[in-house]
Structure 1
Amino acid sequence: MQEQEPSYQITAAPTSQTDDMGVRYRKYVISMIIRTVCFLCFAFIDHPIRWVFVGGALVLPYIAVVLANAGRESRGPAPDSFDITAPAPRPPEQLPAIEATITSVRSPRDDAR
């Protein structure tokens, strides 16, 4: 009996890059909308809580960038083929070297003369 190679399930595959970029883009836009609201609240509210809005407007860009860049994490363990602790496959047997000798050198211009 021959051993079958392991098969991988599609559910273990990461999300597509297009979907991942869409999710990251939405997170970033939502964070920037909240930042804009914080800035507007700071500008129009005359109460000591306005300083909380200043803090939000200053900190949210950092948080938005970190959230937007935190993508493409794998959802499960890597397949066995990516296991760096597994022994490396043996290289193929060495083939004998082919010896060649140059008997003459010809150029297309040689025929034109």
Structure 2
Amino acid sequence: MNDSDHPRRLHGRKRGRKLRAGLAELVDTLLPRLTLRLPQPPQRLDVAEAFGGRVFQDLWVEIGFGAGEHLAWQAHTHPEVALIGCEPFVNGIATLLRDIEAEGLANIRIYPDDGR
């Protein structure tokens, strides 16, 4: 058996409580600019292109970042590293977006889906 025999499913919900107005606005305005769009195989992700032409020393991926506290800390502590956070839950993404805006973090991109 392989992965195609058992499609991956996300259990639970992708949205929890209703977002406050400020967070909902960030999801509407900031998330589209930071959403990572993956190319179709066999093409590979062009990291510099995904980050607006900026070149980084390394690339780190965090799968399931929750509310994003650790990802935001990593971005602040390691500005030379490109960070991709994968998270399907809108409430966690919104919280991370608030931190990105507040701290002016430019080295994070978000994949708003299951990172597997």
- TM-score above 0.5: no
- Name the structure where strand makes up a greater proportion of residues: 2
TM-score, normalised with respect to structure 1: 0.21
**Structure with max Cα Rg:** 1
TM-score, normalised with respect to structure 2: 0.21
